[in-house]
Every structure is written in C-alpha cells, then in structure tokens.
Structure 1
Amino acid sequence: MSTPAPKPAPAPKRRADAVRNRQLALDAAMALLAEPDRALTVEAIAARAGLGAATVVRAFGGKDALLDAAIARLLEPVVRRARDLLAEAAPYDALCTFLRELVAFQTAHHAASDQLGGLDLPATTALRADLVAAVEEMLDGARRDGRIRSDLDPALATSLIGATALAVARAEPSSPGLTDAYLTVLLDGLRSPAASPSARGT
C-alpha cells in the first residue's frame, strides 16, 4: 500500500503572514511620514518595519502603492473631520475650526509632501479632492450666510487657503502665534464687509 503524499501547508497561514507584513510596512511608512528629513525609500520603510525590502515590495506591489496607502490612511480622518464639522456646525464656524486643525496636520506632515512628486497616488489624489470639496462647501455655506465676502472666486479662495496654510505649516520653528496671526488675517480678509461686529469672532 502506497504512502499518501504530504499535504501542502495551509494557505491561511501564508495569508496571515502577508497581512501582518502589509500592516508592519504601512505602520512604518506612516511613522516616517511624520519625521522631517527622512527619506521615504523602500529600504527605509523596510528597516523601520523589520522586514526585507523585497517583502515590502511584495506586500504592496511597489513604493507608490505603499505610500499611497499610508498617506490615504492619514488623510481619511482629516476628510471625515471636515465632513463632521459641516454636519455639526454652521459653515463659517466649521471653517474656522477646521483651518486651525488643518494647519496642525500640515505642520506634522508637510515634510513628506516634498518627496511625493511624480508618484502615482490615486487614493491620495481622491482624498485631497474630497478635502478641497469640503472646504469649498464651508466657504459656499458661509457665503450664503453672509459671513464671508462674495466677490472672490470660490476656487481662488480655496487655493489661497490651501497655499497659505501650507506656508504657515512649513515655518521653522513652528509657532502657535503664527497660526493665530494667519487665521486672523485670512478670516478678516474673507469676511463680508456687511457682516455685523458680532460676527467678527474667529
């Protein structure tokens, strides 16, 4: 009587290892995104994760996909927060609160953006578009409420907010006073001339 051939190793174990390696690589990439002047290379991510570079590439298919997943993971709560504020507060109040939180987020992660040029980041691109749409909704609502001026092109106002917020976030050393000044000047500039003195708080 012949001896039965040995059974292959069960697939679930291999899948569990792949899931674990993917999470380790993702956590490492997110940690490096928050560290200024750190190169976002596959080798650096692999070293932080305690994995081989080939394992990291295999887990995601390449550096672009890994960074896209990591940045998307960071942006998702920011977009969710913007949507929550729109649902919970008046548009102008939502805008004031969100701008301060946006500067804080960009201060923590702006250094990584310099290394993302030329990468294929579809999930990140989609979330950034969602973020812009949320800010535009805040501006549109505040404009309808008479809280901000109506003579500025909406797209231009959104670009102004994004560009200046990033500039403040990049300031070295970072300063809460600079953030306060930025918000005061920006919101004063956006405010409708017809707004009552009681509406002038930020």
Structure 2
Amino acid sequence: MSTPSRADAVRNRQLALDAATALLAEPDATLTVEVIAKRAGLGSGTIVRAFGGKDALLDAAVAGLLRPVVARAHELSGSDRPEQALRTFLAELMAFQGAHHAAGDNLRGLSAPETTALRGELVTAVEKMLTAAQRHGRVRDDVPLGVLTAVIGESAYAVARSGSPEHIDAFLTVLLDGLRPST
C-alpha cells in the first residue's frame, strides 16, 4: 500500500513543475535541474526526489502544455468544415509553438514518454483533419498522409520559430493553397 504524499512534497512538485513550465516559455532559457530549482526556490535534490530527474520533470511540464493543444486538435478534427478546422488548428499550433519553442529544443535526446504519446495523438488528430479535407475535395490525395503531416509539422515549426505573427497567416494561405487538388 502506498503512502499518500506529504503536503510539502506535493507543493514542491508543483513549484518545480510551474518553474519548468515558465522557463519553457522563455526563448533561449537554460533548463537544467539547478536553474529550475533556483526559479522554484527549491534545492536541486528536492526536484530530483520529486521527479527522479530532469527528463521526467520536463516531460511532465511539456505534457501539461500539450494536453490542451491535443484536446483542441481532437475537437477540431470532428468539424464538418475540415479545411477551416485545419487552418484554425495550425494557426493555434504555430502560436503555441512560437510561445514555447524551447520545449522542443530542450526535449531532444531526453526520455519523454508522456510527451511522445501526446505528440502521437496530435499527429493522429491532424491526419483525421487532413483525411476529412481530402474526402471533401479540399486537400490533395496524391501525397501520402505521413508526408503531408511531416511537411506541415516541420514547416509550421519553422514559421512559429521565426517570431513573426504576420508570417503565420501568409504561411497558412500558401500551404493550404498548395494542398488543394489541382483542377
């Protein structure tokens, strides 16, 4: 039988998670256990006890950020206007990526099973939007779905990192025009 967490351990875990999440929104932030601990007002050992290490802490922080994005993708994937749903979602995704691009940078090479699972759900939801748009004749079907999602994902990430919100609308217009079937 497991022992319930002490209130201070729960509080410390949340402080560490909040600090990591805040740092993920800062461009060029260094995300080490020491920096996160300092931001949280905790010792490094407290963070290691709470999460087991940096990988688990960053996985939890990024997963917390991604959950609402994935929920929104699922919501939009059921739209009866799939091309508009795709455009709306991609604009929201790029705004999210622009605000949290440190998340992707800092997860490279780390063990992040929760984040990886959520990214898989995100891809599935986008593929559902693309498939629906294909059925409606709004997205070409001569390019494999995996290639479409890869092109969209990588391009959206690059545009989001540009830091220029006016690029988002132009990108979406060019992208969606390019995805339309030729007449």
TM bucket, shorter chain:
over 0.9
Whichever of the two has the greater Rg, that structure is: 1
Equivalent residue number for residue 192 of structure 1: 181
* CA distance in structure 1 between the aligned counterparts of 2:24 and 2:87, rounded to whole angstroms: 26
Q: CA RMSD in A?
A: 1.3
- Structure 1 stretches of 5 or more lacking a match? 1-10, 195-202
**Superimposed CA distance per residue, residues 125-183 of structure 1 (whole angstroms, 9 cap, x where no aligned partner):** 00000000100000001001111111111110000000000110111xx2222111111
Residue 181 of structure 1 aligns with an amino acid whose one-letter code is A
* CA distance in structure 1 between the aligned counterparts of 2:150 and 2:39, rounded to whole angstroms: 35
8 Å contact kept, 2:77–2:126:
no
Listed as ranges, the matches of 1:66-85 within 5 Å are 66-85=57-76
8 Å contact kept, 1:29–1:40:
yes
Establish whether residue 109 from structure 1 lines up as the match of residue 100 from structure 2.
yes
Establish whether residue 56 from structure 1 lines up as the match of residue 47 from structure 2.
yes
Identical-residue share of aligned pairs (%): 65
Q: Quick one: which of 171, 176, 180 aligns to 2:165?
A: 176
Residue 170 of structure 2 aligns with an amino acid whose one-letter code is A
TM-score of the two chains, using structure 1 as the length reference = 0.86
TM-score of the two chains, using structure 2 as the length reference = 0.94
Report the alpha carbon displacement of residue 88 of structure 1 after superposing the two structures with TM.
4.3
Residue 182 of structure 2 aligns with an amino acid whose one-letter code is P
Q: Aligned pair count?
A: 181
* CA distance in structure 1 between the aligned counterparts of 2:165 and 2:117, rounded to whole angstroms: 30
* CA distance in structure 1 between the aligned counterparts of 2:151 and 2:78, rounded to whole angstroms: 24
Establish whether residue 30 from structure 1 lines up as the match of residue 30 from structure 2.
no
Listed as ranges, the matches of 1:140-179 within 5 Å are 140-171=131-162, 174-179=163-168
